[in-house]
Structure 1
Amino acid sequence: MTYNEIIDCLYDLKDPEKVIFKAKKFGIISNNSLGIYHQDLKIIAKKIGSDTDLALQLFDSGIYEARLLCSKIFKPKDITDPLMETWVSTFENWEICDSFCMGLFSKSQFAIPKILAWSTREYEFEKRAAFATLASYCMADKTSKNELFEQFFTIIKCEAHDDRIYVKKVVNWALRNIGKRNVDLNRKAIDVAYEILEQEHKSAKWIAKNALAELQKDHIRMSDYPRSEYRKPKMKNQELF
């Protein structure tokens, strides 16, 4: 699909009522939005395939849904530090923030430095970008040692006081995802949650209680990363005597 074909396709799907519905139901307030659901954009992105140059054109169009498409077709290996800084400053709601962080930023070589740098930002969706990238990076990186993820407990504890809804929810999400990487990080994340619970902030107590409720489940769904350590070795066939 060409740029013009994609733009025409987006305008064909335009629905102003969905703009209003998304704002009321999900708190997604966006400028220059056509009113297209994420699931429909995924179908279009699949037809397009990976295309960095086209993705840049779509972002520069200024159309909200075109920018969401950009996050889905841009190649992570092509991302640059300046481009990430340019994009993160434009995020206006959790949907576009998470779309870029989960589909693109967490898969880039700049994921870790940006998590650390953005975690102290004042603007709500720049700070959210730090923890949304972290939450996704927990699943994207299947080989790093526990020590890499343990360093993030410090910023999680430091930012647990932020009571803005789209910050406290993502801090909680990041803590839970670290705790679901493997059994050892699960125990450490639980300990961190109890430390956060001792803070005097309402947001910290909510983050801690919500994380503990999930991380302490009897049948919690947990990964085995890094797989080289947590995957059980296959047993060789042995002869029976």
Structure 2
Amino acid sequence: MIGPPSDAAELIAHLETLRSEENVASMARFGIVTDRALGISNPDIKAVARVAKKDHVRAMQLWRSDIREARLLALYTAEPKRLTTEEAQNWADDFNSWEIVDCAADLFVEAGLDELISDFAADEREFIRRTAFAMIAGAAVHLKKEADSTILAWLPLIEAQAGDPRNFVRKAVNWALRSIGKRNLACHAPALALAKALTESPDKTARWIGKDAVRELAGAKLLARLR
């Protein structure tokens, strides 16, 4: 195992020793882009991150390697308070995998870069648009002190993009809607109302998103928890 401090090259060399071609093959079955993958599991990458510690400059260097595991390590070891809007946008330009997107979304939320959500939602690129809704889902769950009005203000974005049929977008839009609805009672009613409205949409994708969200949000178990 590596010992801190390590530079980017040392960390990448360490990751190379953990390579597993068998894991690369199995990752591809889950829709993970494996062109530049070493086949290291997320728990193992997180273990490396814990030892390596946060280092923002090094995270930027790791990202530029274009290796899946090094990019995940960059996301786990970047310093949220130092992450700028421009850096986040530059990273987003490279997004090509739902897995990278979802890890990055958590970092962007922690970094307080919520202003990027509307820009990302308006972007036609599949993985950048997914980032917007992964961020909404994450914010609804993790930003417990955030005003509900901030969370609810993203419902129109969900409605606007509910017709995007691309798999990684529609699933994230659905995820965002369900996450808002599960936040608390104040958010539940508006989210459920939108979900019900989407079930009546002439658009097939929007109807799927609405029906799936209603199934969860109208459940007795969830209502009991929220009350």
Say yes or no: TM over 0.5. Answer: yes
1:182 to 178, 181, 184: 184
- Map residues 118-129 of structure 1 onto 2, 5 A cutoff: 118-129=120-131
> Structure 1 residues 223, 150: CA separation in 2 closer, same or farther (over 3 Å shift)?
farther
CA contact (8 A) 1:182 1:223 kept: no
Matches of 1:117 and 1:205, distance apart in 2? 25
Matched-pair identity in %: 34
Task: Indicate the residue corresponding to 1:173 in structure 2.
Answer: 175
1:82 and 2:76 are equivalent in the alignment: no
1:144 is displaced (CA, Å) by 2.3
Q: Normalising by structure 1, what TM-score?
A: 0.87
Which has the higher Rg, Structure 1 or Structure 2?
1
Task: Indicate the residue corresponding to 2:105 in structure 1.
Answer: 101
Q: Name the SS of the counterpart of 1:220 in structure 2.
A: helix
Gapped regions of structure 2 (runs ≥ 5): none
CA contact (8 A) 1:71 1:99 kept: yes
Q: Name the SS of the counterpart of 2:155 in structure 1.
A: helix
Give per-residue Cα distances to partners, 1:43-87, cap 9 Å, x unaligned.
Answer: 111111222122112112222210110101111111111111110
1:98 is displaced (CA, Å) by 0.5
Stretches (4+) displaced over 3 A: 221-224
1:20 to 18, 25, 30: 25
> Structure 1 residues 223, 152: CA separation in 2 closer, same or farther (over 3 Å shift)?
farther
Q: Name the SS of the counterpart of 1:191 in structure 2.
A: helix
| Alignment length (residue pairs) | 222
Q: Normalising by structure 2, what TM-score?
A: 0.92
Matches of 1:64 and 1:144, distance apart in 2? 32
Q: Name the SS of the counterpart of 2:220 in structure 1.
A: coil
Give per-residue Cα distances to partners, 1:121-148, cap 9 Å, x unaligned.
Answer: 1110000000001110112211222221
1:66 to 70, 81, 101: 70
Matches of 1:19 and 1:177, distance apart in 2? 31
- Map residues 1-241 of structure 1 onto 2, 5 A cutoff: 1=4, 2-3=6-7, 4-24=9-29, 26-102=30-106, 104-111=107-114, 113-220=115-222
Q: Please, what is the CA RMSD of the aligned residues?
A: 1.8
Matches of 1:84 and 1:145, distance apart in 2? 24
1:35 is displaced (CA, Å) by 1.3
1:223 is displaced (CA, Å) by 8.2
1:222 is displaced (CA, Å) by 8.7
